[in-house]
Amino acid sequence: MTTVRYAFGIALAALVFAGAVGPAAAQRADRTPQARQLVMLLVKRDYAGVAKRFDDKMRQALPADKLKMVWENLTAQVGAFQKQGAARTEKAEEGGKTYDVVVITCQFARRALDAKFVFNQQGQVSGLFFMPNQQ
């Protein structure tokens, strides 16, 4: 369990965005297909393809080589990726800005994790982390 927490700690360190979830603001496009595509890029080990969709802060905090390390450490702890499950969307606000949040349940060989993607108003990823499945 300690090693799993270590992997979560690394993944959580990737989180640049730390806003609180607030009430839904303006309606925007559903980012779920984008988030699902990003999961598949991780599975395919296309870290540069994922990082290309990051905003500037995320690109600095989690360049492709660090993203590779996070993903590989994570899968070493929870096993190989098996499939995507349910997705849910939320809104978050920070500093007067509204963000779209998509949480996708990902089944790995040894456990399910929730992958949380935070998108800015331009559709770029402003936050990414993995957490124990909430279901």
Mean of pLDDT values over 112-129: 96
* Model confidence pLDDT, tens digit, residues 47-86: 999 999 999 999 999 999 999 999 999 999 999 999 999 9
* Model confidence pLDDT, tens digit, residues 1-35: 444 444 444 444 344 443 333 334 345 679 999 99
Tokens at 18, concatenated: 């730390």
How far apart CA 71 and CA 135 sit, in angstroms, is 22
H or E element in which residue 117 lies: strand 112-119
The CATH number for 68's domain is: 3.10.450.590
Give the closest residue to 51 by CA, choosing from 38, 65, 64, 37: 64
> What is the domain count for the chain?
1
Residues contacting 20, CB < 8 A, separation 6+: 92, 93, 94
135: confidence class by pLDDT, cuts 50, 70, 90:
confident
Q: Report pTM.
A: 0.80
What was the pLDDT predicted at 134? 81
| Comparison of pLDDT for 102 and 12, the residue scoring more | 102
Query: Domain limits at 104?
Result: 2-132
> Vertex 132, ends 46 and 37: CA angle to 5°?
30
Which single residue is written with the structure tokens 């590989």? 72
